[in-house]
Amino acid sequence: MAKEFDLNEVEVWDGNYAASQALRQAQVDVVAAYPITPSTPIVENYGGYEANGYVDGQFVMVESEHAAMSGCIGAAASGGRVATATSSQGFALMAEVLYQASGMRLPIVLTVVNRALASPLNVRGDHSDMYLGRDSGWINTDAFNSQEAYDLTLCAFKIGENLDVRLPVMVHQDGFTTSHKAQNVKPLKDAEAYKFVGDYKPVDDMLDFTRPVTHGAQTEEDWHFEHKARQHKALMDSTKVIDEVFAEFKTLTGREYKRVESYMMEDAEVAMVVLGSSVETAVLAAQELREKEGVKVGVIAPRVFRPFPFDLIREELDRESLKAVVCMDKSAPGGAMGALFNEISAASLTTKARPMITNYIYGLGGRDFSVEEAQRIMKEQKAHADAGHITTEIQQFSGVRGPKLGFFETRRGK
């Protein structure tokens, strides 16, 4: 029997410690892991919990991140509650196996501490790994701070294990900005947390010898299409369960989460769309601009990145007052517009309002995103709105040294 962990009403935790405590409280059966900065403390802490008798689960040390997810798949297919953590290059090595986990409908929880991808080698946080895995068939949620890293990890088990979902879930948090920043966190007591998550209910358990099943079967053109279509439908339909779990969590804790968070959008003329820890920076910047300069600016922050909340984004964009929107992509686009820009633009095309949309690439390799820079970009959107057309290049870099870099100049309105 695992020992109780003595928790206070308010703890001072960084995002890594918060995520590891959620794994402990969920009473995970197996954590198979290989360490990588900046996610190492999550699995390191879990190993300490096992060594000190705070968990009954098993901590399995493997030789790579590919092996870590492979071990998680074997444990989940055998009927266990399973989780792990990774970042960056480790996530890239794990990518092949992510598709196996989602295709087999195994509700594994993966905490991804977002970090830049090489080359050049960089251990700081951006969203390159988040973008790499966004279409691997996993539900993707995004924590803005340490409290949310804890809360969303608990929610992830309840969402993924729901019998109407049965899909793996990633919980993202920004490397170092969230993972290593100590903040006040209000945890649940152990019994409360486990009651919320609930007992694990195996489905198609390989160790149920009374009902033999096959995992990882091969299909060609005869059945592959049907499997992938149903997997996609389950992912899209998971929104109902996500909303229900968030509502139940609010009842329990008073903390409210939505698939899309919006701030000051009711009368906004311009808006910034942003992910992760930058949301708090953008909100503060918008509040100050409203108070000091009267600029009616709002912030849109997708909390669930997959399934992409197309309907909710469309509602936020379809406002008569809204004239200009900037999408902030914290990942090198690799010869295209930013991924967030592309998805927000697609939603905008289905609205009547159709605000002007531009794209900024920012924060690569952990480059700081300040309130002042956010305000500069917001005021630039106000200039677009006042002019009635985009007055700059459609895609720009924010905070890069050297000559100005801009792409895809617009001639609209000229």
Q: Which of 162-166, 212-216, 234-238, 353-357 has the lowest mean pLDDT?
A: 212-216
Per mean pLDDT, which range of 151-160, 213-222, 306-315 is the poorest? Answer: 213-222
Q: What DSSP designation does 330 have?
A: -
Q: Where in the chain is the domain with CATH 3.40.50.920?
A: 260-409
Q: What pLDDT band is residue 10 in, cutting at 50, 70 and 90?
A: very high
pLDDT over 60 at 271, yes or no: yes
The token pair at 401 is 């040294």
pLDDT digit string, tens, across residues 275-319 = 999 999 999 999 999 999 999 999 999 999 999 999 999 999 999
- CATH 3.40.50.970 residue ranges of the chain are 11-253
The pLDDT of residue 414 = 39
Query: Tell me, what's the pLDDT at 407?
Result: 79
- 11-253 belongs to which homologous superfamily? Thiamin diphosphate (ThDP)-binding fold, Pyr/PP domains (3.40.50.970)
Residue 202's nearest CA partner among 293, 76, 299, 384 is: 76
Q: Which residues of 72-81 are buried (b: 16+ CB within 10 A; e: fewer)?
A: bbbbbbbbbb
CB 291 within 8 A of CB 237: no
Which pLDDT belongs to residue 402? Answer: 86
Close Cβ partners of 224 (under 8 Å, ≥ 6 residues apart):
none
CA distance 77 to 392: 52
pLDDT tens-digit readout, 246-268: 999 999 999 999 999 999 999 99
- Percentages helix, strand, coil for the chain (3-state, rounded to 5) are 40, 20, 45
Rg of the Cα atoms in the chain: 22
Q: For position 405, what pLDDT does the model report?
A: 77
Please identify, in words, the CATH class of the domain defined by 260-409: alpha beta
Q: Kindly report, residue by residue over 52-76, the tens digit of the pLDDT.
A: 999 999 999 999 999 999 999 999 9
Name the nearest CA neighbour of 319 among 266, 358, 378: 266
**What's the rounded Cα separation, in Å, for the pair 323 and 389?**
9
pLDDT band at 411 (very low <50, low <70, confident <90, very high): low
In DSSP notation, 372-407 reads HHHHHHHHHHHHHHHHTS--SEEEEESS--SS--EE
Are 18 and 150 in contact by the 8 Å Cβ rule? The answer is yes
pLDDT value of position 251: 98
pLDDT at 32: 98
pLDDT tens by residue, 314-367: 999 999 999 999 999 999 999 999 999 999 999 999 999 999 999 999 999 999
Is 391 a residue whose pLDDT tops 60? yes
